[in-house]
A and B are shown apart, each in its own frame.
Chain A
C-alpha cells in the first residue's frame, strides 16, 4: 500500500518526497523508545512467578526501577504527544499533514476499491491513495486515541490515592486492555506495513532516512 500514493496540491514550500523530516523522525524515535519501554515495564508485571525467578528479576530493586522507568517513559510520551499537537497546529507542514490525516469519504472508497483489488487483482487495479492511505490514517488516530486513554488512566493509577476505588478499578482494566490492543496493533498492523510487507521487507527506511526506498512507484505532483 505504501507505494501507491497520489498527492495533488502539495502546498508550496513542502517537499513531498520527504515522508518524515528530521524533526518528525525524532518525534517518532522518542515515541518508539518510550512505547517499547512502557510495554516491557508494564507487561512484565504479568510475568508468571516462576519466570520472574528464572529471569533473575525477583528483586524489589528491579520492581522499583521498572516502576520509575514506566513513569519516566509515560511522561516522555505525554511530552512528545503535546509537542506533536503544537507541531501540527504551529507549523505549515504540520497543518498540511493534519489536513491530510483527517478522515474523509475517499478513505472509505479507497477501502472498498482495495477490497475489490484484493479479490480480483487482475481485473481491478490497486487504487492510488492520498498522502496517507486509510490504513495509516486509522493507525495514526488509534495512536492518538490510545495515547490519550493510556495517559489519563495512567495518571489516575499513579495518583491512586485521590480517586475513589471504582475509578481506580475501571482505570486499571482500561489501562491493561488498551495496552494489549496497542501492542498487538503495533505487531500486527504497523510491523506488517513497515517490515513484513514484500513492498518494504525487511524494513522501510523512512523512519531513519525520511524517504521511501528508491525504486518505489510514488506519484506526487505539486499543484
Chain B
C-alpha cells in the first residue's frame, strides 16, 4: 500500500510541475513581459504567429489574428516590441478589444527616441478627418488608416502606403470615385509611371490638415484653385521641363474670370471649372473638357454661359500662349500703345510749352514795374 501511495504522490507532484510550467510561462505578468520583449510570446503559433485561425477580433468578429512578423521587421518600426505600441496589454491572454495604438506616445515633439514629428497631430486634429474622428464617426481615418499598421513605412519608401505613387490607392480606399478619376487623368497616368513631379492627392488637398473643398481654408476651395494650380503651372522650372507655358496663369489673372476671382467671387470659372477636377486631360484628348469639340458645352455649363452663341467658345482661350494672339487683338494693342504714347506725349509737350509761355509773359509783364 505504501509504495503506491508514494508513487501517487510523486505522480501528482510531477503533474503539478508539468501543468505549472506553461501556466507560469504564459499567464504570469512577469514571465509574459520577459518573453514579449522579444515578441516571441505574441508570435506563438496559435496566437499571432501563423496565418489562419479562429480568434475573436477587436470588432467582435472571428478570424485570423495573424501578424506578419516579416512585414513588421521590414517596417519603420522594426525592433519595436509589440507592447511598446499595444500598451494596454497587461495580461496574456489579452482582451480581444484592445484600444487603438496611441502614436503620440512616441511621435511627440523632441521625443527621446527620435521618432519623426513635425507637429502633425495638431494638424490632423484641425482636419476634416480629425473632426469626424472626434465626432465618433467609425469611418474617420486615424493615423494607421493612411500610414498602415504593422507595415508602416516612411513616405519615401516605395511600398509605403503614403508614398506619393501609392496615394491614389491609399486615399482611394475611402475616396474611390475621386481616385479612379484621378488615375484616368494626365496627373494620375504620369504618377503611375513613377513621375514624382506630378501632383498626387496631398499636393493639392493638403496633408494632415486636409479640409473639404467647401471650406475657404482648403487649398482646393474655389477661391484658391488658381493659386494651388499655379504653384506648378506658374513655376518656370516645371514649365520648362514639361514644355508648357506659365503664361496661362497670367492670362487667367488678366481675364474677367481672374478679375472676379481676385475679389473672392467663386461663381466665375477657375482652372478646374474648365479643365476638370480629378480627371484633368490635355486639350488634345477628345475626352477632355477643353478639347475644342467640347469647349462649347464646357463654357455653356448651366451656371456659366448657357445662352452662348456657337462662336462664343471657338478660338484661343489663354490668348497668345499656345499661338500668337489673333491678329486683330495684336494690331489693336499696338495701335493703342502708339496712339496713347503719341497723344498723351503731345499733350504733355503742349502743356509744357503753354506753361513756359505764360511764365515768361508774366515775368516780362512784371519786369518794367519792378
Contacts and interface: CB of A to CB of B under 8 A. Distances in A.
Interface of A: 1, 45-47, 49, 52, 57-60, 62-64, 66, 115, 117-118, 121-122, 126, 135, 160-166, 168-170, 172-174, 177-178, 180-181, 184-185, 188-189, 192, 196-199
A142 to B, nearest CB: 8
Contacts of B309: 161-164
B354 A1 contact: yes
Given A173-B332, A185-B347, A197 B263 contact: no
B2 interface: no
A63 B266 CA distance: 11
B168 to A, nearest CB: 32
Contact of A170 (B329, B354, B355): B329
B90 interface: no
Contact of A197 (B308, B337, B354): B354
A135 B350 contact: yes
A198 B326 contact: no
B333 interface: yes
Interface of B: 256, 259-260, 262-267, 305, 307-316, 319, 325-326, 328-329, 332-333, 336-337, 339-340, 343-344, 347-348, 350-351, 353-362, 364
Contact of B312 (A47, A66, A165): A165
Closest 7 CB pairs of A and B: A164-B311, A177-B336, A63-B263, A45-B259, A118-B353, A165-B315, A161-B308
26 contacts: A45-B259, A45-B262, A47-B262, A58-B262, A58-B263, A63-B263, A117-B357, A118-B354, A118-B356, A122-B360, A135-B350, A164-B315, A166-B329, A170-B326, A172-B256, A173-B329, A177-B332, A180-B340, A181-B336, A181-B339, A184-B344, A185-B344, A192-B347, A196-B351, A197-B354, A198-B359
A7 B307 CA distance: 56
A165 B264 contact: no
Nearest to B263: A63
